[in-house]
Amino acid sequence: MAKQTTAAAEVKSTLGLTGVTVNAMALIAPGAFLWITYQLQAAATAPDGSSVAADIWAGIGLALILAFLTAFSYAELMRRYPEAGFGSSYYFAEKAFIDRAETRHHRWARLAKILTGWSAHLYYWVYPGVMVAMTATLLGYIWTQVTGGTLSMFTMDVICVLFAVLVGFIAWRGVSGSTVTAFTVNVIQLVTLVVFSLLAIWYRWSNPVHATQWAFSGAWDVVRPHSFQGVLIQSTLAILILVGFESCTALAAETIDPKKHIPRGVILSLIIQGLFAYMFEYFAGSYMVNETLTATDPTGATVMGMAAAGVSSAPIGDMAILLGNTVLGGIGFGLMVSIAVTVVIALLGTTLSCLNTAVRMSYAMAQDREMPEILGVLHGRFATPHRIIWVLVAFSAVIGWIGVWSNPVGLTGITLASNFGTFALYGLTCLWTMVAFAGTAEFKFVRHAVVPAVGLLANVVMLIAILYLYIIGNADAQHEAYICFSIAGGWALVSVLYVVVTSVRSGRPLVAPAPRRLA
C-alpha cells in the first residue's frame, strides 16, 4: 500500500465536508464548461455529416445518469476503504481483491490496480491539458474581441505554458490554498451562470429583437431526444463536463473523516453542479439561440443560429454580447468580458482540481513502485508530490499545444482521449465495486450489484460509441478519432513497456500463480 508520509513531510488532515465538496465541484465547473464546450457540442455531427446539435441537452442527461451510477460506486467504495489516502480508485482496485477471504482472488490484485491506475492517468493527465488548450482558446477570443486581431500560434503556445505553470505553482503550495481557490471559483461561477441563464430565458420571453427563426420551437423541443444516435454522440462529449465528482476520493489522507465526508461530497458535488447547474444553464443557452446569432464559417460564409454556435470559438461570448445589447441597454461587450473573466477563474479552479487528483494518484503508484520511485517524494514544507506536479505541468502544456494547433478538431481529439480514459476508469470502478462487496456481510443487491452493473454497462457502451461513431464519421471526425487513439494508444504502449520491464527487474508477476491446493 502507498504510504502517505516521508521522512521530511507529513500530510495533515484538514478538510471537512465543505472542503471535500468544493474541491470536487471545482473540477466540474459548470460556469466554465458552458462557455468552453458549447462550440464542440453545437458542431457535433452524425457519421453522415448531419448535425446532432438538437440533442445537446438530452446527451447531457444521458451522461448525467452514467455519472450518478458511477458516483454511487465511488461512494460505496470510499465507505468501505476510508484509508485509501492518495490512491482513490487505484487503491480500491487492489483492496477489492486482497481483502477477500478466498486467497485465489488475491492473484489478480496487481493486474486490477495497474489497469485502473493507468486508465486513471489517461483521464487525469490528459484532462488538465484539455483545460490548458481551452483557456488559451478563450484568451484568444477575448483578444480578438478587444483588438480585432488574432493571436499568433506562438503566442497561444506561450499562454499554454504560462497557464500550466500557474496551476502547478498553486498545486505545489498545497491543498489548503487549492481549497480556498476552489471555494472562490464555485461562488463566482454559480452566480455568473444563474445571471446568464435568467437573462437568456428573459431574452426569448421578451423577444426584444423580434427573432423569427429559433433553433428550438420551445422548451420541450430543447429537452426532448431527437435521435438515439444524436444523444449517444452528445453524451460522449458531455461526460467531459461532468467528470470530477470522484476527484475528492484522492483527498482521503487530507480529510478529517473520509468515511463520512467523502461519500457525501461525491454525491453532493454531482447534484449541485450536474443535476441543477448544467440542466438549467444548457437549457437556457439553447432556448435563446436564433437567427440573430451569427458567425463566419471557414469558407467565409455567414451562418446563423446553432450553425453559428458550432463555428464560433466562443458562442456563449457571442450570446452574452447579444443579451447585453438587447435586454441590458447596449452593454453587450462589457457583459461578455465580465463573464469571460469568471470563466478564466473557473478554468483555473477545474485545472487545479484535476491536477491535484492526478499527482496524488501518481504518487500512490510511485510509492507502490508502479511508476518511477523518484516521483514518490513529498515536498518537505508543503507535503505535496512536487516532482510529479512539474512533470504534469510540462505534459499539460504539450497536450494544450495539440488542442490549439487545430481547433476545434484538435480540441475535440484531446477531449475524446481524456473521455476515453474516463469511461475506462469509471467502468473499472463499477466492476471493482461488485467484486469488493460480493459475498460480504455488507452486500446489498441493488447498491452493490444492480447499480454498479448498470454503470459498467453504460461506460462500456460509451467506449464503444467513441470507437464506432468517430471512426465511421466524416473527415473531421476521423481526424479527431486519430488524435484520440494516438494519445490513448501511445499511453497504453508506454504503460505496457514500463510494467513489463519493472516486472522482470523486480520479479513481481503481473498475475500471481494460483495457490496450490492441499491434497
Q: Where are the domains of the chain?
A: 17-506
CATH 3.40.50.300 fits 17-506, yes or no: no
- Other C-beta atoms closer than 10 Å to the C-beta of 316 total 26
Element housing 204 (H / E): helix 175-206
Please tell me the predicted confidence (pLDDT) of residue 352.
82
Place of cell 473573466: 341
Q: Does residue 385 contact residue 363 with C-beta atoms inside 8 Å? A: yes
Q: Does residue 100 contact residue 337 with C-beta atoms inside 8 Å? A: no
- Residue 68 CA to residue 271 CA, distance in Å, equals 9
DSSP 479: H
DSSP 450: I
User: How does DSSP assign 180-192, residue by residue?
Assistant: HHHHHHHHHHHHH
- Other C-beta atoms closer than 10 Å to the C-beta of 353 total 32
Selection from 265, 237, 346 nearest residue 88 by Cα: 265
Place of cell 445518469: 65
User: How does DSSP assign 389-421, residue by residue?
Assistant: HHHHHHHHHHHHHHHHHTTTHHHHHHHHHHHHH
DSSP 3-state assignment of 304?
strand
Q: What is the pLDDT along the chain (519 residues), one digit of tens a residue?
A: 444 444 344 666 778 888 888 877 876 766 677 877 898 899 888 888 889 999 999 999 999 999 999 999 999 999 999 887 777 888 899 899 988 777 777 888 888 988 898 888 888 888 888 889 988 988 888 898 888 888 888 999 999 999 999 988 888 776 555 667 677 777 887 888 889 999 999 999 887 556 788 999 999 999 999 999 999 999 988 887 888 788 788 778 778 888 899 999 999 989 988 888 889 999 999 999 999 998 888 788 899 999 999 988 789 999 999 999 988 888 999 999 988 888 888 888 778 877 877 887 788 788 777 777 776 566 556 566 778 888 889 999 999 888 888 767 788 888 888 888 888 999 999 999 999 999 888 999 999 999 999 999 999 988 888 888 777 777 777 888 888 888 888 888 888 888 888 888 878 777 777 665 544
What is the chain's length? 519
Identity (one letter) of the amino acid at 331?
I
Please tell me the predicted confidence (pLDDT) of residue 454.
95
* C-alpha torsion angle, residues 263, 268, 270, 272 (rounded to 10): -170
DSSP 3-state assignment of 215?
coil
Please tell me the predicted confidence (pLDDT) of residue 209.
58
Please tell me the predicted confidence (pLDDT) of residue 445.
94
- Residue 365 CA to residue 2 CA, distance in Å, equals 7
pTM over 0.85: no
- Other C-beta atoms closer than 10 Å to the C-beta of 515 total 11
- Residue 104 CA to residue 147 CA, distance in Å, equals 67
